[in-house]
Amino acid sequence: MNTVKLCIDTDPGIDDALALLLAFQLFDGRIVGITSVAGNQSVDKTTANAAKLLDLANQTIPLYRGAEGPLARTSIIAEEVHGITGIGKAVLPQSRRTIEKSPADEAIYEMACEYNGQFEIITLGPLTNIALSLMKHRDLAAKIKKITMMGGGSYAGNVTPYAEFNFFADAEAADIVFRSGIPIVMVGLDATHNATITKTEATDALNEESYTQFIALELFESLFENHLYHSVNTSYMHDPLAVAAHYDPSLVSLSDAHVSIVCEPNEHYGQSLVEFYHDSPNAKVALDCDLDRFRELLFSTLTSYHEH
Ligand SMILES: [Ca+2]
Query: Residue 207 contacts by C-beta under 8 Å, 6 or more apart in sequence?
Result: 213, 303
Give residue 235 CA to ligand 1 midpoint distance, Å: 14
Q: In this predicted structure, what is the pLDDT of residue 2?
A: 85
Query: Is beta strand 119-123 parallel, antiparallel or unpaired with respect to 5-10?
Result: parallel
pLDDT class of 171 with cuts at 50, 70, 90: very high
Query: Residue 92 contacts by C-beta under 8 Å, 6 or more apart in sequence?
Result: 49, 52, 53, 55, 56, 215
Residue of higher predicted confidence among 154 and 83: 154
User: Is 3.90.245.10 the CATH classification of the domain at 5-302?
Assistant: yes
Over range 158-167, report the average pLDDT. Answer: 96
What is the rounded distance in angstroms from the CA atom of residue 125 to the CA atom of residue 29?
23
CB 181 within 8 A of CB 276: no
pLDDT class of 230 with cuts at 50, 70, 90: low
Give residue 39 CA to ligand 1 midpoint distance, Å: 7
Give residue 158 CA to ligand 1 midpoint distance, Å: 13
Q: In this predicted structure, what is the pLDDT of residue 118?
A: 98
Nearest to 303 by CA among 21, 90, 53: 21
- Across the chain, how many H-helices and E-strands are there? 12, 11
What is the rounded distance in angstroms from the CA atom of residue 303 to the CA atom of residue 193?
24
> 257 - beta bridge partners?
283
Q: Per-residue pLDDT tens for 177-222?
A: 999 999 999 999 999 999 999 999 999 999 999 999 999 999 999 9
Q: In this predicted structure, what is the pLDDT of residue 137?
A: 98
Give residue 153 CA to ligand 1 midpoint distance, Å: 15
| pLDDT(308) > 60 | no
Cβ neighbours, 10 Å, residue 114:
12
Give residue 44 CA to ligand 1 midpoint distance, Å: 15
Over range 255-260, report the average pLDDT. Answer: 98
Give residue 94 CA to ligand 1 midpoint distance, Å: 21
| pLDDT(242) > 90 | yes
| pLDDT(79) > 90 | no
Residue of higher predicted confidence among 73 and 162: 162
Q: In this predicted structure, what is the pLDDT of residue 307?
A: 75
148-174 as b/e: b if 16+ CB within 10 A:
bbbbbbbeebbbeebbbbbbbbbbbbb
| pLDDT(77) > 90 | no
pTM of the model: 0.97
Q: In this predicted structure, what is the pLDDT of residue 229?
A: 57
CB 166 within 8 A of CB 192: no
Query: Residue 172 contacts by C-beta under 8 Å, 6 or more apart in sequence?
Result: 70, 71, 72, 73, 131, 263
Residue extents of the structural domains in the chain: 5-302
How far apart, in Å, do the first and last CA atoms of the chain sit? 31
Q: Which residues are designated catalytic?
A: 238
Q: In this predicted structure, what is the pLDDT of residue 119?
A: 98
Q: In this predicted structure, what is the pLDDT of residue 228?
A: 60
Q: Per-residue pLDDT tens for 1-12?
A: 789 999 999 999
Weakest-pLDDT range from 39-53, 220-234, 254-268? 220-234
Whole-number percent of the chain with pLDDT over 90: 89
Over range 112-139, report the average pLDDT. Answer: 98
Q: In this predicted structure, what is the pLDDT of residue 83?
A: 84
Give residue 36 CA to ligand 1 midpoint distance, Å: 10
What is the rounded distance in angstroms from the CA atom of residue 121 to the CA atom of residue 146?
7
Nearest to 43 by CA among 95, 92, 103, 98: 103
3-state secondary structure (DSSP) of residue 34? strand
